[in-house]
Amino acid sequence: MFVLFYNYVDNMLERRGPHRPAHLDLVNEFHAAGTLTMAGALTDPVDSALIVFRDRESAEAFVARDPYVANGLVPAHRIREWALVVGG
């Protein structure tokens, strides 16, 4: 498994509006394909997100197509391999 960590810009909740539908479409596309297993933002504050993929290539492809990244809402991200012990 691979975890994609996103760092969000300040005021993400206010700024994501125009790009959120396309971002969620992309999340659902990768989930339907079986390569994305779970995704969500961290809260209080909403300053980052975690998205879990079955392989690094899918995580990289997601970043390359994500409107949040393309529109500057994700100034930094990283992908880390996750040695999952239980679940998934």
d(CA 37, CA 27): 10
pLDDT, tens digit, 9 for 90 and up, residues 26-80: 999 999 999 999 999 999 999 999 999 999 999 999 999 999 999 999 999 999 9
- pLDDT of 87 over the 90 cut: no
Please report where in the chains the tokens 């994305």 appear, as a residue. Answer: 36
CA 47 to chain centre: 12
- pLDDT of 88 over the 70 cut: no
Cα dihedral: 58, 6, 70, 19 (round 10) = 100
- pLDDT at res. 83: 94
- The domains found in the chain, sorted by start residue, are 2-81 (3.30.70.1060)
Q: Could you tell me the CA-to-CA distances from 57 to 6, 47, 72 in Å, in that order?
A: 16, 25, 22
- pLDDT at res. 84: 87
